[in-house]
Amino acid sequence: MKDVLLYDTTLRDGCQAEDVSFTLEDKLRIAAKLDELGIDYIEGGYPGSNERDADFFKRVKKLKLKNARVASFGTTMKVGIKPSQDFNLRVLLAADTPVVTLVGKTWDLHVRDDLRISQKANLDIIGDSIAYMKKRVDEVIFDAEHFFDGFRANPDYAIECLKAAQEGGADWIVLCETNGGRLPGEIRDALTQVNRAVKTPLGIHCHNDGELAVANTLAGVEMGVTQVQGTINGFGERCGNMNLISVIANLQLKMGKKCVTPAQLKKLREVSQLFYELANINPNKRQAYVGDSAFAHKGGLHVSGVIKNRETYEHIDPVVVGNRQRVLVSDLSGRSNVVYKGKEYGIDLTDKNDAIKEVLRRTKELEGQGYEFQAAEASFELLIQEALGKKKKNFNLIGFRVIDEKRKEGEAPISEATIQVQVDGELEHAAAMGNGPVNALDQALRRALTKFYPALKQVELLDYKVRVLSSGEGTGAVVRVLIESGDGKERWGTVGVSHNVIEASWQALVDSIDYKLYKDARHRAN
């Protein structure tokens, strides 16, 4: 038996976010994943708003969801007509969902200035709409729009609106903090009075304009609310909705409120990442519980602590939400950081004090020059090998030349690189064209080395980033180049820094090749 039921509105409220748009296939995939997560209600959208939402309600029936009930969303009826004549209510019935969510006004300002009807007329349309739908649908939820603003302005009338919904037969009354401007104390104060006046089960729906949506939702649960509404990753209008990812974790792990199984809890990060991917948005690395940085440790004191006892600097075990502990290396690192990273790479540095000191010295020196190893762990692993005296020099550069030539206005420049290297005393010369100078240099380098190291045919340059570090110096600024490479099995990051972008790129390319050859040799040895 669950203590709190989860209502997801990613497919409706979440789609109102500025950068979020889902195809029909995306929406069906999202519904299936929400069901896996243990969500109790999936709000699919307003079936009358567009063809995509209408099609969703037809096709979602074929998914055979195991945990979730699908809800369609719409407004209460218009004033002055019978419920059976209202277009919105007819559309909701046509969607044929087991749950219908009706949103209605509870703030007297909206009734006066938006609907422009009497307060009595608004009470009537709330009650009549719900009563009509309740006779035809299994479950009716009333979303009391702007309830907390309405309660602040006119508490008696706001509660009268809830009573009208209760009398109409609503299965749930959801208190909406629509503008996102209220504080947790205000939520508690309002619920103290609502609990005296209303017996219908309560839900809460909060927006994040004051960065308080999660806190306000938890305050609601503390006051007896048993349904929470939100979106995955907090997608939503303006500053977003309550983030269900955070609330699920807080309910389950901090408040002891059962809402998902332990196995479903472990899916939190997976679900969060998938929804970012489908929305084509970079994941928030600092997102609570599931972000890449949520359990990342950089300071030497912190790393030393978590190695001895995870609880020193981690409020939960990251594994329970599908995340992991990470240790970063930087000029803030101490001995513990290096030992930890070595262990990650399968290198025992426990008793190698001289190597640890050298790694720390070189890390601080290089980061002072602009290097950064948090996204270039392959370069850092090679730095450890160098400190141990085990880094192999795979080739000597004799020289390279890169030419960019633009032959005609309106046509892209042509990039060509030539290079000469020496391997075990043998010289090799190669040339290549490329999509830009760095790509040309990458192609030429690997072409020259493939004769000696055939495995380099598998390597691809997957991503390339340039960051200007000393922006005040204009074109003479220091730049940092981050390269991500892969061989079809693994991906790795390397870094280079220079005043010259080609030189910085060269450093990162050499590290990428050296890491590939080192990695293959290590695998053969094991």
Judge whether 505 lies within some domain. yes
Judge whether 315 lies within some domain. no
Nearest CA to 16 among 382, 357, 193, 279?
A: 279
What CATH number corresponds to the domain at position 413?
3.30.160.270
What CATH number corresponds to the domain at position 150?
3.20.20.70
Q: Per the confidence metrics, is the pTM higher than 0.85?
A: no
Last residue of a domain, one of 210, 245, 260: 260
Count the domains in the chain. Answer: 2
Domain residues for the domain of 20 are 5-260
Instruction: Decide if pLDDT at 364 tops 70.
Output: yes
Judge whether 164 lies within some domain. yes
CB 151 within 8 A of CB 158: yes
Q: How confident is the model at residue 471 (pLDDT cuts 50, 70, 90)?
A: low
- Residue 501: enclosing H or E segment and its boundaries? helix 501-525
Here the contacts of 364-371 (C-beta below 8 Å, separation 24 or greater) are 364/331, 366/497, 367/330, 367/331, 368/331, 369/478, 369/497, 370/469, 370/478, 370/480, 370/497, 371/480, 371/495, 371/497
Other Cβ atoms closer than 10 A to 198: 18
5 is written with which tokens?
A: 């039921």
Specify the range with the lowest mean pLDDT, choosing from 24-28, 364-368, 390-394: 364-368
pLDDT in tens, 249-273: 999 999 999 999 999 999 999 999 9
Judge whether 329 lies within some domain. no
Judge whether 354 lies within some domain. no
pLDDT in tens, 28-75: 999 999 999 999 999 999 997 778 888 999 999 999 899 999 999 999
Judge whether 74 lies within some domain. yes
What's the pLDDT at 509?
96
Q: How many residues does the chain have?
A: 526
Last residue of a domain, one of 260, 285, 320: 260
Last residue of a domain, one of 260, 289, 321: 260
pLDDT in tens, 101-141: 999 999 999 999 999 999 999 999 999 999 999 999 999 99
Nearest CA to 253 among 202, 296, 288, 211?
A: 288
Judge whether 305 lies within some domain. no
Return all residues near 391 (Cβ < 8 A) that are at least 6 apart: 382, 385, 514, 518
Judge whether 391 lies within some domain. no
